[in-house]
Amino acid sequence: MSLRDRLRDSARENTGNRRSGASPSKAYHRHFEGHSEITVPKPNGKGARIQRIYTGNYFRQDLTEHQRVFIRVLYVALFLCIAFLYTSSAVLPLTINSTWYVALPQAVSLPFLFWILIAFFSYLPAERDMKIADYRSSSLHLLKATMGSAICLGVTALAILVFIVLNPSDEFLRELLCTGKYIVAGLIALAMYRIERKVSYLTIPNQHSHLRIVLKSLRTLHISCSFGYIHCTSMAFPRNGLRHPNKW
Protein backbone atom coordinates (compact mmCIF):
# COMPACT_ATOMS: atom_id res chain seq x y z
CA MET A 1 0.00 0.00 0.00
CA SER A 2 1.37 3.41 -0.92
CA LEU A 3 2.12 6.16 1.59
CA ARG A 4 -0.70 8.26 0.18
CA ASP A 5 -3.20 5.44 0.84
CA ARG A 6 -1.82 4.85 4.33
CA LEU A 7 -2.15 8.52 5.24
CA ARG A 8 -5.76 8.50 4.04
CA ASP A 9 -6.53 5.35 6.06
CA SER A 10 -4.89 6.91 9.09
CA ALA A 11 -7.15 9.95 8.86
CA ARG A 12 -10.23 7.72 8.52
CA GLU A 13 -9.18 5.64 11.51
CA ASN A 14 -8.79 8.79 13.57
CA THR A 15 -12.26 9.98 12.54
CA GLY A 16 -13.78 6.68 13.61
CA ASN A 17 -12.08 6.85 16.99
CA ARG A 18 -13.44 10.29 17.93
CA ARG A 19 -15.78 10.41 20.86
CA SER A 20 -19.35 11.62 20.49
CA GLY A 21 -20.04 15.27 21.21
CA ALA A 22 -18.15 18.39 20.24
CA SER A 23 -14.75 17.71 18.69
CA PRO A 24 -12.17 19.68 16.71
CA SER A 25 -12.72 20.06 13.00
CA LYS A 26 -11.38 17.71 10.36
CA ALA A 27 -8.88 20.39 9.29
CA TYR A 28 -7.61 20.54 12.88
CA HIS A 29 -7.01 16.80 13.00
CA ARG A 30 -5.32 16.80 9.60
CA HIS A 31 -3.05 19.69 10.60
CA PHE A 32 -2.01 18.00 13.85
CA GLU A 33 -1.94 14.47 12.47
CA GLY A 34 0.95 12.58 14.00
CA HIS A 35 0.89 14.66 17.19
CA SER A 36 0.08 13.52 20.72
CA GLU A 37 -1.65 15.95 23.04
CA ILE A 38 -0.65 16.23 26.68
CA THR A 39 -2.90 18.28 28.96
CA VAL A 40 -0.91 19.73 31.86
CA PRO A 41 -1.99 22.10 34.63
CA LYS A 42 -0.96 25.75 34.41
CA PRO A 43 1.72 26.98 36.86
CA ASN A 44 -0.86 29.01 38.80
CA GLY A 45 -3.00 25.91 39.27
CA LYS A 46 -5.96 27.43 37.44
CA GLY A 47 -7.01 25.42 34.44
CA ALA A 48 -4.78 23.47 32.08
CA ARG A 49 -3.01 23.87 28.77
CA ILE A 50 -2.41 21.51 25.88
CA GLN A 51 1.13 20.58 24.92
CA ARG A 52 1.57 18.81 21.59
CA ILE A 53 4.39 16.41 20.89
CA TYR A 54 5.00 15.13 17.38
CA THR A 55 5.25 11.32 17.55
CA GLY A 56 4.73 10.45 13.88
CA ASN A 57 7.39 9.64 11.33
CA TYR A 58 9.28 12.28 9.38
CA PHE A 59 9.50 12.25 5.58
CA ARG A 60 12.65 13.23 3.71
CA GLN A 61 13.23 13.59 -0.01
CA ASP A 62 15.80 11.04 -1.15
CA LEU A 63 17.82 13.81 -2.80
CA THR A 64 21.13 15.51 -2.18
CA GLU A 65 21.08 19.14 -1.04
CA HIS A 66 22.07 20.23 -4.55
CA GLN A 67 19.22 18.21 -6.06
CA ARG A 68 16.72 19.68 -3.58
CA VAL A 69 17.70 23.21 -4.57
CA PHE A 70 17.69 22.36 -8.27
CA ILE A 71 14.21 20.81 -8.27
CA ARG A 72 12.78 23.84 -6.49
CA VAL A 73 14.35 26.27 -8.95
CA LEU A 74 13.11 24.06 -11.80
CA TYR A 75 9.53 24.06 -10.49
CA VAL A 76 9.48 27.84 -10.15
CA ALA A 77 10.84 28.29 -13.68
CA LEU A 78 8.31 25.85 -15.13
CA PHE A 79 5.44 27.50 -13.30
CA LEU A 80 6.45 30.92 -14.61
CA CYS A 81 6.39 29.47 -18.14
CA ILE A 82 2.88 28.11 -17.54
CA ALA A 83 1.70 31.45 -16.15
CA PHE A 84 3.12 33.34 -19.15
CA LEU A 85 1.62 30.99 -21.72
CA TYR A 86 -1.78 31.04 -20.02
CA THR A 87 -1.92 34.81 -19.51
CA SER A 88 -0.64 35.70 -22.98
CA SER A 89 -3.46 33.64 -24.51
CA ALA A 90 -6.30 34.49 -22.11
CA VAL A 91 -5.93 38.29 -22.45
CA LEU A 92 -6.08 38.39 -26.25
CA PRO A 93 -9.23 40.06 -27.66
CA LEU A 94 -10.29 36.98 -29.59
CA THR A 95 -13.73 35.47 -29.97
CA ILE A 96 -12.54 32.19 -28.48
CA ASN A 97 -11.97 33.87 -25.11
CA SER A 98 -15.63 34.86 -24.91
CA THR A 99 -17.06 31.54 -26.12
CA TRP A 100 -18.57 29.65 -23.19
CA TYR A 101 -17.16 26.18 -23.90
CA VAL A 102 -13.67 27.68 -24.16
CA ALA A 103 -14.00 30.14 -21.30
CA LEU A 104 -15.30 27.47 -18.91
CA PRO A 105 -12.21 25.18 -18.80
CA GLN A 106 -10.07 28.30 -19.11
CA ALA A 107 -11.63 29.68 -15.92
CA VAL A 108 -11.41 26.34 -14.11
CA SER A 109 -7.67 26.30 -14.81
CA LEU A 110 -7.14 29.37 -12.65
CA PRO A 111 -7.86 27.78 -9.24
CA PHE A 112 -5.47 24.94 -10.04
CA LEU A 113 -2.75 27.38 -11.07
CA PHE A 114 -3.25 29.30 -7.84
CA TRP A 115 -3.14 25.99 -5.98
CA ILE A 116 0.33 25.35 -7.41
CA LEU A 117 1.39 28.77 -6.16
CA ILE A 118 -0.05 28.05 -2.70
CA ALA A 119 1.71 24.66 -2.60
CA PHE A 120 4.98 26.46 -3.31
CA PHE A 121 4.65 28.37 -0.02
CA SER A 122 4.93 25.01 1.76
CA TYR A 123 7.14 23.14 -0.70
CA LEU A 124 9.92 25.67 -1.32
CA PRO A 125 10.85 26.45 2.32
CA ALA A 126 10.09 22.93 3.62
CA GLU A 127 12.61 21.50 6.06
CA ARG A 128 14.62 18.46 5.10
CA ASP A 129 12.65 16.28 7.53
CA MET A 130 8.94 17.01 7.11
CA LYS A 131 6.03 16.20 9.40
CA ILE A 132 2.91 14.57 7.97
CA ALA A 133 1.07 17.90 7.62
CA ASP A 134 4.09 19.46 5.89
CA TYR A 135 4.26 16.57 3.45
CA ARG A 136 0.54 16.86 2.67
CA SER A 137 0.61 20.63 2.09
CA SER A 138 3.71 20.48 -0.09
CA SER A 139 4.23 17.35 -2.17
CA LEU A 140 0.68 15.93 -2.19
CA HIS A 141 -0.93 19.30 -2.92
CA LEU A 142 1.59 19.98 -5.67
CA LEU A 143 0.76 16.65 -7.29
CA LYS A 144 -2.97 17.32 -7.28
CA ALA A 145 -2.60 20.93 -8.44
CA THR A 146 -0.29 20.14 -11.36
CA MET A 147 -2.45 17.24 -12.54
CA GLY A 148 -5.59 19.38 -12.34
CA SER A 149 -3.86 22.18 -14.24
CA ALA A 150 -2.66 19.82 -16.96
CA ILE A 151 -6.16 18.42 -17.49
CA CYS A 152 -7.88 21.82 -17.59
CA LEU A 153 -5.31 23.35 -19.92
CA GLY A 154 -5.57 20.36 -22.24
CA VAL A 155 -9.38 20.60 -22.30
CA THR A 156 -9.09 24.32 -23.07
CA ALA A 157 -6.83 23.60 -26.04
CA LEU A 158 -9.26 20.96 -27.29
CA ALA A 159 -12.18 23.38 -26.95
CA ILE A 160 -10.34 25.96 -29.04
CA LEU A 161 -9.70 23.39 -31.76
CA VAL A 162 -13.42 22.60 -31.82
CA PHE A 163 -14.18 26.31 -32.13
CA ILE A 164 -11.71 26.70 -35.01
CA VAL A 165 -13.32 23.83 -36.90
CA LEU A 166 -16.87 25.09 -36.34
CA ASN A 167 -16.13 28.79 -36.84
CA PRO A 168 -13.55 29.48 -39.58
CA SER A 169 -12.32 33.07 -39.42
CA ASP A 170 -9.50 35.42 -40.39
CA GLU A 171 -8.06 35.00 -36.91
CA PHE A 172 -7.26 31.37 -37.58
CA LEU A 173 -3.49 31.71 -37.05
CA ARG A 174 -3.83 33.61 -33.76
CA GLU A 175 -6.37 31.10 -32.49
CA LEU A 176 -4.10 28.26 -33.50
CA LEU A 177 -1.23 29.94 -31.67
CA CYS A 178 -3.36 30.12 -28.52
CA THR A 179 -4.09 26.43 -28.87
CA GLY A 180 -0.39 25.68 -29.04
CA LYS A 181 0.28 27.77 -25.95
CA TYR A 182 -2.35 25.93 -23.92
CA ILE A 183 -1.00 22.58 -25.08
CA VAL A 184 2.56 23.49 -24.11
CA ALA A 185 1.38 24.87 -20.75
CA GLY A 186 -0.53 21.66 -20.08
CA LEU A 187 2.49 19.53 -20.97
CA ILE A 188 4.70 21.56 -18.64
CA ALA A 189 2.22 21.07 -15.80
CA LEU A 190 2.15 17.35 -16.57
CA ALA A 191 5.96 17.30 -16.52
CA MET A 192 5.94 18.87 -13.04
CA TYR A 193 3.53 16.18 -11.89
CA ARG A 194 5.69 13.40 -13.33
CA ILE A 195 8.87 14.79 -11.80
CA GLU A 196 7.38 15.14 -8.33
CA ARG A 197 5.76 11.72 -8.47
CA LYS A 198 9.13 10.13 -9.19
CA VAL A 199 10.77 11.81 -6.20
CA SER A 200 11.31 9.17 -3.50
CA TYR A 201 10.65 9.98 0.14
CA LEU A 202 12.40 8.23 3.02
CA THR A 203 10.58 7.43 6.26
CA ILE A 204 12.59 8.72 9.22
CA PRO A 205 11.63 7.28 12.65
CA ASN A 206 10.76 9.81 15.34
CA GLN A 207 12.72 9.83 18.60
CA HIS A 208 9.34 10.02 20.37
CA SER A 209 7.99 6.96 18.55
CA HIS A 210 7.86 5.03 21.83
CA LEU A 211 5.05 7.36 22.90
CA ARG A 212 3.15 6.41 19.75
CA ILE A 213 3.33 2.71 20.70
CA VAL A 214 2.03 3.39 24.20
CA LEU A 215 -0.76 5.68 22.99
CA LYS A 216 -1.82 3.18 20.34
CA SER A 217 -2.58 0.54 22.97
CA LEU A 218 -3.94 3.02 25.51
CA ARG A 219 -6.09 5.68 23.85
CA THR A 220 -6.42 7.57 27.11
CA LEU A 221 -3.71 7.59 29.73
CA HIS A 222 -4.07 9.20 33.17
CA ILE A 223 -0.99 9.81 35.23
CA SER A 224 -1.12 11.03 38.82
CA CYS A 225 2.08 12.63 39.97
CA SER A 226 3.18 14.55 43.01
CA PHE A 227 3.45 17.70 40.92
CA GLY A 228 0.08 17.47 39.19
CA TYR A 229 -2.21 15.58 36.84
CA ILE A 230 -1.42 14.76 33.23
CA HIS A 231 -3.91 13.59 30.57
CA CYS A 232 -2.57 12.23 27.30
CA THR A 233 -4.68 11.79 24.21
CA SER A 234 -3.43 10.24 20.99
CA MET A 235 -4.21 12.01 17.73
CA ALA A 236 -3.99 10.38 14.31
CA PHE A 237 -0.63 9.20 13.14
CA PRO A 238 0.47 7.01 10.22
CA ARG A 239 0.85 3.30 10.69
CA ASN A 240 4.26 1.67 10.77
CA GLY A 241 6.01 0.73 7.58
CA LEU A 242 5.35 3.79 5.38
CA ARG A 243 7.74 3.67 2.50
CA HIS A 244 6.72 5.02 -0.90
CA PRO A 245 4.95 8.40 -0.85
CA ASN A 246 4.05 9.45 -4.33
CA LYS A 247 2.75 6.28 -5.95
CA TRP A 248 -0.98 6.78 -6.57
DSSP 40-75: EE-TTSSSEEEEEEE-S-EEEESS-HHHHHHHHHHH
**244: in domain:** no
Q: Do both 168 and 46 map to the same domain? A: no
Q: Do both 74 and 168 map to the same domain? A: yes
3-state SS, residue 176: helix
Most confident segment among 6-10, 126-130, 244-248:
126-130
**245: in domain:** no
Range of the domain at 141: 60-201
Q: Do both 40 and 124 map to the same domain? A: no
Q: Do both 122 and 186 map to the same domain? A: yes
Q: What is the pLDDT of residue 156?
A: 96
Residues whose CB is less than 8 angstroms from the CB of residue 219 and which lie 6 or more positions away in sequence, other chains included: 17, 233, 234
The C-alpha atoms of residue 106 and residue 97 are separated, in whole angstroms, by: 8
Split at pLDDT 50, 70, 90, the class of 221 is very low
Q: Do both 162 and 185 map to the same domain? A: yes
- Residue 175 scores a pLDDT above 80: yes
Q: What is the pLDDT of residue 223?
A: 44
Of the candidates 70, 79, 66, the residue with the CA atom closest to the CA atom of residue 113: 79
**246: in domain:** no
Q: Between 56 and 224, where is the model more confident?
A: 56
Split at pLDDT 50, 70, 90, the class of 133 is confident
**85: in domain:** yes
Q: What is the pLDDT of residue 237?
A: 39
**117: in domain:** yes
Split into its structural domains, the chain has a count of 2
Of the candidates 117, 144, 137, 139, the residue with the CA atom closest to the CA atom of residue 62: 139
The C-alpha atoms of residue 161 and residue 157 are separated, in whole angstroms, by: 6
What is the DSSP annotation of 81-105? Answer: HHHHHHHHHHTS--GGGGSHHHHHH
Q: What is the pLDDT of residue 106?
A: 95
Convert the pLDDT of each residue in 51-103 to its tens digit: 777 777 888 899 999 999 999 999 999 999 999 999 999 999 999 999 999 99
**116: in domain:** yes
3-state SS, residue 129: strand
Read off the pLDDT of each residue in 9-34 and give the average, rounded to a whole number.
Answer: 52
**242: in domain:** no
Percent of the residues in the chain that have a pLDDT greater than 90, as a whole number: 47
Q: Do both 121 and 11 map to the same domain? A: no
Q: Do both 29 and 98 map to the same domain? A: no
Q: Do both 70 and 192 map to the same domain? A: yes
Read off the pLDDT of each residue in 122-126 and give the average, rounded to a whole number.
Answer: 91
| Cβ proximity of 205 and 112 under 8 Å | no
Q: What is the pLDDT of residue 164?
A: 93
Q: Do both 109 and 125 map to the same domain? A: yes
Q: What is the pLDDT of residue 42?
A: 73
Q: What is the pLDDT of residue 217?
A: 52
Angle at Cα 140 formed by Cα 139 and Cα 142, nearest 5°? 65
pTM of the model as a whole: 0.71
Q: What is the pLDDT of residue 91?
A: 92
Q: Do both 130 and 49 map to the same domain? A: no
Q: Do both 65 and 141 map to the same domain? A: yes
Q: What is the pLDDT of residue 47?
A: 73
The C-alpha atoms of residue 58 and residue 205 are separated, in whole angstroms, by: 6
Q: Give me the CATH number covering residue 168.
A: 1.20.120
Convert the pLDDT of each residue in 185-215 to its tens digit: 999 999 999 999 999 988 887 775 555 555 5
Q: What is the pLDDT of residue 134?
A: 85
**247: in domain:** no
Q: Do both 212 and 196 map to the same domain? A: no
- The C-alpha torsion from 161 through 166 and 172 to 174, rounded to 10°, is -50
Q: Between 160 and 209, where is the model more confident?
A: 160
3-state SS, residue 182: helix
